[in-house]
Structure 1
Amino acid sequence: MKLFLKLLTLSSLNFAIFAEIYNFPSNFVWGAASASYQIEGAWNVDGRIPSIWDTASHKNNSSVVDGSTGDDAAMSYYYYEKDIQALKDIGFKTYRFSIAWPRVLTKTNQVNQAGIDYYSKLIDRLKEEEIKPMVTMYHWDLPQYLQDLGGWTNPAIVKYFEHYADTLYKHFGDRVKEWITFNEPATFCDGGYSWGWHAPEIRTEKQIGGYLCSHHILLAHGAAYHLYKNKYFADQQGKVGICLNTGYSFPANENVTDEHVDRAMHFGLGRYANPIYSVDGDYPRVMREAIDQKSTDEGRRWSRLPHFTTAQVESLHGAADFLALNYYTSSLIQPYSHLGWNPADSDSEIHSFHDDNWKRSSSSWLVSVPEGLYHLLLWIKDNYNNPLVYITENGWSDLPMTIEDDGRVEYLREHLAAMSRAITDGCRVETYTVWSLTDNFEWMRGYTERFGIYAINFTDPERKRIPKNSVDLMKQVVRDNFVEVEKD
């Protein structure tokens, strides 16, 4: 529901400010999100074994721009009470965090009790404060010894992940009722196993590694989902989903058709969503046909995009109780053929780019396109039978120690309004967790870009959580269950 308020402000200039107020359902759940490697620190204590991000950041020729690591980060392993207090001060009712695989299982696949105890303490304290824990199983910190076996390109990884999921359900499922298997596989599959700009920094020919990673991620998700339903659901009564990231693809000009938009969306979001949430299952047909044909043209006897068996298609179909969605930005698109470019590096043959007029953040890839969130949610509703959606990341970057983060405040206001409009138009969005609770280690950007609504001075041994202006905004939104957007 949207209300329009006309507010008249009298000053020496005598002008009027119009504000639009966007409401949310009475049962809507507000919260914040984080990730283990980005905040915990304590990388080599209490039995934690190395991850691929320890390896990547510790290299002499590390690709992290400021040469930093997540060795200490926000020190949430020691200061998790500060995170809980920050959540409580705003009034958030859910906290999405991830569990570090290298912290809870050893190299011999045995339980590391110290790691289990840490997450049990965190979960118990959240429950005491009436904050629901929403747990991500995998937020990119793969144990290095598994990467040494091939990581997500080795089919054996599916069983390793199933055992890991079993461990989490067994130890925490009595208190955790919302599980996310994977965070943003599109980022770490392509970034890590195709282009090499993300741990484990492997470059492969024509996305082969990325497609193998995607395939095994989907199978691992399906295995974890069915394990929960068959072994734990009767007693624990929780939900299992997967977290996917995408923007919306806007036509760059009148020559770009709806078919081009759908093609871009299917090659992006559909690569992971279609096998789970679509009516037919399997990879999107447009993706399947294009890559199979290109593989033949390249002289290969097999497709670069692996094929599911009939049993695997059936197992994945409907294997999620909700879709966790990370949205930051969107793009303009046009087909390569309109530009005369060589599409050899893109199976979609779609070129995406940003409008120069879109407001830019401190991250080169992040521009503000709130309409993208609205149209994305409607596209998901129309293409995937209106699944239950949680917005699990949405945020804006600024420079270190920016306390008056007016750019983030504006970004959040406009995106929350877009989400409200989508809900009004029938999209089933029930939860929103802002990215992120605190400033943290921003992967290959180190500490040069900050996404937190609480600032942290990383030279301060106490790692104080310092509220930015966006904290006041989120307090108001949580308290009143609406967001106000000013219009000139």
Structure 2
Amino acid sequence: MIKFPDDFLWGAAASAPQTEGHSLLNGKSATTWDKWFEMNPEKFNQDQGPKDTSNTYEMYPEDVENMKKIGMNSYRTSISWARLLPDGKTLNTEAVTFYRSYFQDMLNHGIEPIINLFHFDMPWWLMEKGGWENRESVTDFAYYAKIAFEQFGDLIHKWTTFNEPIVHIECGYLLGFHYPAIVDMKKAIQVGYHTLMAHVLAVQEFRKSQVKGKIGIILNVLPAYSRSDNPEDLQAKKNSDLLNTRSFLDPAVLGMIPDDLVTLLKDNQLLPVVESGDKKLIHENTVDFIGINYYQPTRVQAPVNPNYPAKMPDDLYVPYDWPDKKINPYRGWEIYPQALYDIAIMMRDQYKNIPWYVSENGMGVADEARFKNNQGMIEDNYRIDFIKEHLEQLHKGMEAGSNCFGYHMWTFVDCWSWLNGYRNRYGFYSVDLDNDFKRTVKKSGLWFKQMTGQNGF
């Protein structure tokens, strides 16, 4: 039997914009998602926008009860910046009441809240000033973090600053998947740098607040896998690692931006504008732990005819289609559990064996109603197998000495997923959008309860 430590965190992850609903109610101001849906609803799956999502704002007491029913002892979600500070300055007291009640309810049920500050939901008032392109965003975010620590620091003892910062950089400024849908690598690098400095100043505010607890950041990091060992492919792997993994992981844990990354950006005329004192701030404000979101590996090879200087990431590396891959056809993502072992060893050997946890892992599947049994339960055996395979590799890494303290699935109840809406479902509980958001446990939820009850399988 595979057994995990007695104090291991078993749970799930979600975000405010993907679950709360009430997106323009109860004092909350608009985010880029609210505005984009207003401007271009046709971009969103089946016109499913951010208005209601999973209605957690009203249904959190039932959700917390359901968390307990399937053996969760922890849950990571986020605070909505636009709900807490609708204009960036004025505290929304109704938001404070909601979040305090929600977090206290978790604590009352023996569920530890891990609270994140930013999950792709840029307030519109800040977007109008340029969003993360504007250096003002750094101090605006630090102020928001300060207020959050003041209002909830007595309840929350594990904080994170950002979820997957690479995603809002890449999707918003390189690929066109998130607002403002700009395709400009120079701007993307500047947005990335301001995001990093916002994280750093939030950590500084946490240290100054002297609230009890620890602070980290959630990153979608993993070592890239190269097509071959030839020098060109290995250079592509190095470039991918520098931009996608080490750009945030090195400063967060080691307190420094990699010299090789600076050289790569300089050689390609992509260096961001920085301020004096930034280097010292990065060095002095490292994290206590790391969350790692893992869904699929990064496989790369050398580009055939790259531009120089680079205009886009595919001038530095391009995807490699591994012929032996196993695919989740609904997302088009490769399923490769072995990467969790590689991540564990990377964290052990390259990042001081800092405490870390799997902050997201999951399998999105479309049309899950196909798998309902006669009692109306979705028999998602594929999700159970997915979890087992990944936990086996994680356990192997922990046995080798990697300092992992938890495993969180994406997600607890089916949630809204940006432009994809509810196309793919990930939850331990299904959500019936046509029946007052009714929650129904899936087979994976019952399996999770059994597994967490014996702390292994």
Give the TM bin, normalised by the shorter chain: over 0.9
8 Å Cα contact 1:74/1:440 also seen in 2: yes
8 Å Cα contact 2:294/2:360 also seen in 1: yes
C-alpha distance in 1 between matches for 2:35 and 2:74? 32
What is the match of residue 271 of structure 1?
A: 247
8 Å Cα contact 2:331/2:365 also seen in 1: no
C-alpha distance in 2 between matches for 1:31 and 1:372? 21
Offset at 1:356?
4.4
| Equivalent position amino acid for 1:101 in 2 | W
Q: Deviations over 1:60-103 (max 9, x none)?
A: 35422332102111110000112101210012111111111111
| Equivalent position amino acid for 1:270 in 2 | R
Q: Deviations over 1:129-161 (max 9, x none)?
A: 111111011111121111000011100011111
Structure 2: gaps (5+ residues): 370-377
What is the match of residue 486 of structure 1?
A: none
Offset at 1:341?
5.5
C-alpha distance in 1 between matches for 2:321 and 2:35? 33
> Against the structure 1 CA distance between its residues 315 and 26, is the aligned structure 2 distance closer, same or farther, given a 3 Å change threshold?
same
C-alpha distance in 1 between matches for 2:17 and 2:121? 7
C-alpha distance in 2 between matches for 1:411 and 1:313? 41
> 5 Å matches for 1:229-378?
229-230=207-208, 232-233=209-210, 236-255=211-230, 260-278=236-254, 281-295=255-269, 303-307=270-274, 309=276, 311-317=277-283, 319-336=286-303, 339-340=304-305, 344-346=311-313, 349-378=316-345
What is the match of residue 10 of structure 1?
A: none
In the alignment, does 2:113 pair up with 1:128? no
What is the match of residue 203 of structure 1?
A: 182
What is the match of residue 85 of structure 1?
A: 65
In the alignment, does 2:161 pair up with 1:187? no
Q: Deviations over 1:302-346 (max 9, x none)?
A: x4434464x32232235211111111110322222xx45556422
C-alpha distance in 1 between matches for 2:322 and 2:426? 22
Offset at 1:347?
6.8
C-alpha distance in 1 between matches for 2:87 and 2:212? 31
Offset at 1:362?
4.7
C-alpha distance in 1 between matches for 2:350 and 2:88? 43
8 Å Cα contact 1:57/1:69 also seen in 2: yes
Offset at 1:255?
2.7
What is the match of residue 436 of structure 1?
A: 411
> 5 Å matches for 1:88-107?
88-107=68-87
Number of aligned positions between the proteins = 445
What is the match of residue 53 of structure 1?
A: 33
Structure 1: gaps (5+ residues): 1-20, 296-302, 484-488
C-alpha distance in 2 between matches for 1:332 and 1:102? 37
What is the match of residue 217 of structure 1?
A: 195
Offset at 1:258?
5.8
C-alpha distance in 2 between matches for 1:139 and 1:212? 19
Offset at 1:108?
5.7
8 Å Cα contact 2:236/2:316 also seen in 1: no
In the alignment, does 2:392 pair up with 1:417? yes
| Equivalent position amino acid for 2:227 in 1 | A
Residue identity over aligned pairs, in percent, reads 26
Task: State the SS of the aligned residue for 1:66.
Answer: helix
8 Å Cα contact 1:325/1:392 also seen in 2: yes
What is the match of residue 139 of structure 1?
A: 119
**1:388 aligned residue (350, 355, 358):** 355
TM-score by length of 2: 0.92
**1:398 aligned residue (351, 365, 371):** 365
8 Å Cα contact 1:275/1:313 also seen in 2: no
What is the match of residue 473 of structure 1?
A: 447
C-alpha distance in 2 between matches for 1:48 and 1:418? 42
In the alignment, does 2:373 pair up with 1:407? no
What is the match of residue 11 of structure 1?
A: none
Offset at 1:354?
3.8
| Equivalent position amino acid for 1:265 in 2 | D
C-alpha distance in 2 between matches for 1:362 and 1:465? 25
| Equivalent position amino acid for 1:314 in 2 | K
| Equivalent position amino acid for 2:263 in 1 | E
| Equivalent position amino acid for 1:163 in 2 | Y
